Structures are given as structure tokens and as C-alpha cells.
Amino acid sequence: MLQFSFSKKLLIWAVCAIGILMAAPNLFYTSVEQSNDAEATLATGVPATPELTAIAGQWPAWMPSALVNLGLDLRGGAHLLAEVQVEDVYAERIDSYWPEVRDALRAERVTIGTIRRQDGADTDLRVRISKPEAMDTALAKVRALASPVASLSNVGATDIDVSAEGADIIVRLSEAERLATDQRTMAQSLEIIRRRVDEAGTREPTIQRQGDRRVLIQVPGIGSAEELKELIGKTAKLTFHPVLSRTSDPDTRVQSRQILLPDAQDQGLFYVLEKTATITGDHLVDAQPSFDQNNQAAISFRLNPTGGRVFGEYTASNIGQAFAIVLDEEVLSAPTIQSHIPGGSGIITGQFDVAESTKLAIQLRAGALPAKVVYLEERTIGPELGQDSIDAGALACIVAFITVLIFMVLSYGLFGVFANIALIINVGLIFGLLSMIGATLTLPGIAGIVLTIGMAVDANVLVFERIREELKGGKNPVRAIELGYERAFSAIIDANITTLIAAVILFVMGSGPVRGFAITLGLGIVTSVFTAIWVTRLVISIYMERRRPKEIEV
């Protein structure tokens, strides 16, 4: 029992050494972090300046350089949980079927009569035919437009549901198509949020999809959740519409396929516009902050070839007419077309300041969010509070650690020292593992480490108490130690597995800081069992071999 084969000894020491080596960079957190950043900058191909090389050299390249990630509550930053209003997209999707439906029905004019699009719920496409008796023919024609949806769960499903209501044909998105649309909307939203956050140059943002329609955004180092929200900002949906009239009455009734939108600055001004946009933000290839001829902040834009052609044709045939530049349901400006604008570039004026035009240009360049986002949860932690938490947590850790060390020596003497060696290695292993798996350390996570320090000695205590009992029973030292380990084993395993069960459930069910706690608690259990069973025993075995004491006192 007390004899270790050479290979086993080597394995135990190797595990300890690797763990502590992995943990080492965390002792020099700031300089390692700077060095890592500098190396990352160099890796992007930036020419090496002496300063950069010097910073990169702060930490030797042959040492492991993975650090424990600090959670938002320790580093400071902002956290947002956003929900994407995926339904927003349904109206647009169904709208895009209109030309097809119209053309298909027009071909059957003789049997079904004239057709007219009706206003209805946004998610429906409603078409009235003047000869309702031919409804079956009309339905068959529209149904023929349906195409299959590629999805795993709905084999054979098509994209639209077509039904009749009196003289109206109603086209809706099918359930399968809605799911597929949701998936696309989420993927796009995620991508665009990521681009917008990245454009602002913040470091290590976390942008994750959660569940069906949520996005978790965590950005360390940013001042507040409000700032982050402004960065992600508006939908930034840019469209150009022909202007039909201006009015000051917000209750103006508009005809079907027209919309009434307010002016962005002028409180009492409203525009009646054609609902269908001439140009949309999808045609945009570039947007930059710039200035207009009056030196006012503005945004210059460039359209792709298709957009440029449409814009050119439209301006050529509508000289003298006004068109509205609409951003997120507000009219930024409504200039009158002076001349044909070829080439597809132009400038958007409005009452911006430079900061706004810069932000808006970023958002336009990153692309419009396909749907609105609503924020369900937002948290801001100031960097000072984070630093305070680190300091407080570190102090508590150290005090707890030293007190437990002293307490163990007082209670178990030399064996207490053995347990302490294991405890020190244990903490090293926890940090090593945390760095290795790239886990995130949170404030509750620090609490988990402190708790582990308290509980880690438990396995050793179990063994030592057992050894005492065996010694009292008249066994010789070696035999007592062997029996102590043997008999305490099942209690150690059972007791730790039950705690591990709780930690695993916390990890699976928890989120954010709670999850951080579960990680350190779980790792702490594993490492404390390892150190108690192998490391302490190995140390005791070495002691017994070297000294061969006739009597031991535990």
C-alpha cells in the first residue's frame, strides 16, 4: 500500500509539476496578458517595433502562457441578453411573394377576373379576386408557387400555406418556413451584432446564441450596458422611398400600400410614402462619415451595381420629385432629385454630429439587423468594483489558506505539514486546470476556491483520523497508515461524488457567475481527491522510507 512503483511516482510528480507550471502565468497576470496581446498583434503581421517586441518578451515564449479568464464581475464590463423579434421578418418574407403571386394570377385573368392586393395582418398576403366562383383555380395557381423547405424535422413541408376566405386568397408562411426563417434571422442577427461590436475594437467580446431567439453579449472593459446598447444600436435599416406628400397631421389616413412616417428632427412633419422601397440597405456596399457642402456631418454611401442601376434609372425618370431617406422608420431627409445620379453613390445629410455620423456609418456598413432586438437583461460592472472584488477575493483566499495551514499543523503536527503540501499543490492544480481549459473565473468562482480550501483537507482529515484509530488499536505505524487509507477510501469517494453531483447540476443548469462557481467547486473536488489520495500518501511514504520511525504521532 505504501510502496509506490517508480512509474507511479513519476506520474504523480509529473501531474503536479505540469499543473503548477500551467498555473504559474497567473501569478504574473498583467505582464503575461500584455505579452500575449503583443504577440497576438505581431502575429497579425504588424511590423515589429522595439517596444512591441519588448512587451512580447516580458514572458518567455517557452513557458505556458494561458491565463485564467476573468469574468465580467471581476474585470468590469457590460452584459446584455437580447431577444431578436424574429416575427418582424415574416411580414417582409410574405411581401416578397407578391410579385410572383400577382404574375401567376394575372395569367389566369380570364377565369378569375381582376386581382387586387388587400391590406390585412402584416403576416398575411391577402389578394381579392373579382370572380370568387373561380377560387379553386386561383388557389391551385398560387399553391403551385410553393417550394419545399429544406429542414430535417419537416420532411416534405412547403414554404407557404394558401387558403381562401370569401373572395380573398390568403397566403401565409408555413410553420416549417417560419422555423427556417427564424434560423436565418438568428444567424444574421448574430453575425451583424458581432460585426458591430468588433468594428468598435473592443477586446474579447463574447457573442453567443442562447436558445431559440436570444443572444448573449458580454463585452469586458466597456463602460456601461448603455454604451454597448448604443454600439449595437439601432436596426439601422436604411431605405429610399418615393415621397407622395408632406403633412403635419399625424393621423392622416393613407391608402393601401402607403405609409406615414415622421421626420427625424422636425416634430410636426410627416411624410406619406410609397410602402415599397426603391433602394434598401442590402444594396449598400460602403458607408463612411463625411461632410456635406455646408460642412455639416453627413454620411457618404456607395451602392452595389444592381442598386446603382436602379438608383440611376429612378433618379433619371423622377427629376423634380422628392425621395425620402428612411432610417428605422424615421425620415432622415427628403431631398428633391435635381438631376440623374449615375454611379450609385451619394450622401445622406441630416442633423448629425460627427460622433453620430461615425456610429451610424459603422452600423450601416455592418448591415442592417434583420429584426428588432429587445433587451431582457443588462448588467454593468465598473472596472473599479471588479478590481475591488479581485482584491477582496484574493485577500480572503490568502487568509483562509494560511489559517487552514496553521490549523492543520496544530492539529496533526508533521502529518499536518504533509496535508499542507497537498493543499498547496491542490490550489496550484485548480488554477492550472482553469487556465488549461480556458475557464472563466468569477467572484462566486473565487468563493468556490475558498470553499475548496476549507473542504480539501477533509479527505486528509478522514485518513488521519482513521490512522489515529488504527494506532490506538495497537497497529504498527506502517500498517496503521495502510489501513487508514484503505478504510477511509469508500467514505472519501462517496462523500466527494455526492458533492460532485451537486456541482455538475449547478454547471448544467446555471449561467454566468453561478456556472463559474460550479467549475471551481467541481475542479476543486477532483484535485483535492487526487492530492489527498496520491500526493499526501506519496509524501508520507517517502517520509516513512527515509526515516523509518518506530512510532508516529498523528
Partner 1 sequence: MRLKLVPSDTSLDFFKLSKMTLGASALAMIASVVLFFMIGLNYGIDFKGGTTIRTDAQNPVDIVAYRAALEPLGLGDVSITQVIDPAAQLTGATSNVSQIRIEAQEGAEAATVETIKAVKNALIEVDPTMSFPQIDSVGPKVSGELIQTAVIAVVLAISAVLFYIWLRFEWQFSVGAVAALVHDVVLTIGVFSLLQIKFDLAIIAALLTIVGYSLNDTVVVFDRVRENLRKYKAKPLKDVLNQSINETLSRTVMTSVTTLIALISLFVLGGDVIHGFVFAMIWGVIVGTYSSVFVASAILLRLGVKRDWDKIDDGRAGTQFANIDA
Site for partner 1 in 53-82 (CB under 8 A): 73, 81
**How far apart, in whole angstroms, are the C-alpha atoms of residue 128 and residue 126?**
7
Q: Is 224 in the site for partner 1 (CB under 8 A)?
A: yes
Strand order in the sheet with 284-291: 284-291, 297-303, 345-349
DSSP for 100-155, please give it.
HHHHHHHTTHHHH--EEEE---TT-EEEEES-GGGHHHHHHHHHTT--B---SSST
Residue type, 77: G
Q: Which is nearer to partner 1, 190 or 216 (CB)?
A: 216
- Which residues are registered as beta bridge partners of 260? 272
Among 333, 363, 440, 496, binds partner 1 (CB under 8 A): 496
Q: Is 407 in the site for partner 1 (CB under 8 A)?
A: yes
- DSSP for residue 335: P
For the chain, first and last CA: distance in Å? 18
Q: Which is nearer to partner 1, 346 or 445 (CB)?
A: 445
- Which residues are registered as beta bridge partners of 346? 301
Q: Is 235 in the site for partner 1 (CB under 8 A)?
A: no
Q: Which is nearer to partner 1, 135 or 200 (CB)?
A: 200
With CA atoms as reference, report the closest residue to 337 among 368, 313, 373.
313
Closest distance between partner 1 and the C-beta of residue 508, in Å?
8
What does the block give as the cell for 295?
Answer: 460642412
> 3-state SS string over 182-241?
HHHHHHHHHHHHHHHHHHCCCCCCEEEEECCCEEEEEEECCCCHHHHHHHHCCCCCEEEE
| Cβ pair 99, 142 in contact under 8 A | no
| Cβ pair 349, 296 in contact under 8 A | yes
- Which residues are registered as beta bridge partners of 52? none
Q: Is 471 left (phi over 0), alpha (psi -120 to 50) or beta?
A: alpha
Q: Which is nearer to partner 1, 319 or 394 (CB)?
A: 394
Strands 214-220 and 77-84: antiparallel
Closest distance between partner 1 and the C-beta of residue 444, in Å?
6
**How far apart, in whole angstroms, are the C-alpha atoms of residue 162 and residue 130?**
18
Q: Which is nearer to partner 1, 355 or 376 (CB)?
A: 376
Closest distance between partner 1 and the C-beta of residue 524, in Å?
11
Q: Is 412 in the site for partner 1 (CB under 8 A)?
A: yes
Q: Is 541 in the site for partner 1 (CB under 8 A)?
A: no
Closest distance between partner 1 and the C-beta of residue 493, in Å?
6
Helix (H, G, I), strand (E, B) or coil at 261: strand
Strands 270-274 and 69-70: unpaired
| Cβ pair 56, 42 in contact under 8 A | yes
Closest distance between partner 1 and the C-beta of residue 35, in Å?
29
Q: Which is nearer to partner 1, 260 or 400 (CB)?
A: 400
Interacting span for partner 1 (CB under 8 A) from 95-103, 148-156, 198-206, 220-228:
220-228
Those residues with Cβ within 8 angstroms of residue 76's Cβ, 6 or more apart along the chain or in another chain: 220, 221, 381, 382, 383, 384, 385, 386, 387
Among 152, 490, 546, 551, binds partner 1 (CB under 8 A): 490
Interacting span for partner 1 (CB under 8 A) from 12-20, 113-121, 285-293, 517-525:
517-525
Q: Which is nearer to partner 1, 14 or 385 (CB)?
A: 385
Closest distance between partner 1 and the C-beta of residue 231, in Å?
12
Q: Which is nearer to partner 1, 119 or 230 (CB)?
A: 230
Among 64, 221, 312, 510, binds partner 1 (CB under 8 A): 510
**How far apart, in whole angstroms, are the C-alpha atoms of residue 266 and residue 245?**
16
Q: Is 549 in the site for partner 1 (CB under 8 A)?
A: no
Binding mask 429-468 for partner 1 (x = CB under 8 A): --------------xx-xx--xx-xxx-xx--xx--x--x
Residues numbered 352-391 forming contacts with partner 1, rule: CB under 8 A = 374-382, 384-385, 388-389
Closest distance between partner 1 and the C-beta of residue 304, in Å?
34
Among 17, 498, 545, 549, binds partner 1 (CB under 8 A): 498
Taking only Cα atoms into account, the Rg of the chain, rounded to an integer number of angstroms, comes to 34
Q: Is 400 in the site for partner 1 (CB under 8 A)?
A: yes
Among 21, 140, 150, 505, binds partner 1 (CB under 8 A): 505
Among 104, 145, 396, 421, binds partner 1 (CB under 8 A): 396
Binding mask 77-116 for partner 1 (x = CB under 8 A): ----x-x---------------------------------
Closest distance between partner 1 and the C-beta of residue 428, in Å?
17
**How far apart, in whole angstroms, are the C-alpha atoms of residue 57 and residue 49?**
12
Q: Is 404 in the site for partner 1 (CB under 8 A)?
A: yes
Q: Which is nearer to partner 1, 254 or 500 (CB)?
A: 500
Among 158, 358, 499, 541, binds partner 1 (CB under 8 A): 499
Closest distance between partner 1 and the C-beta of residue 196, in Å?
17
Q: Which is nearer to partner 1, 146 or 400 (CB)?
A: 400
Residues numbered 147-206 forming contacts with partner 1, rule: CB under 8 A = none
- Tell me the number of residues near partner 1 by CB under 8 A: 82
**How far apart, in whole angstroms, are the C-alpha atoms of residue 355 and residue 439?**
37
With CA atoms as reference, report the closest residue to 447 among 501, 392, 497, 382.
392
Q: Cell numbers 453575425 label which residue? A: 191
Q: Which is nearer to partner 1, 22 or 84 (CB)?
A: 84
Closest distance between partner 1 and the C-beta of residue 432, in Å?
20
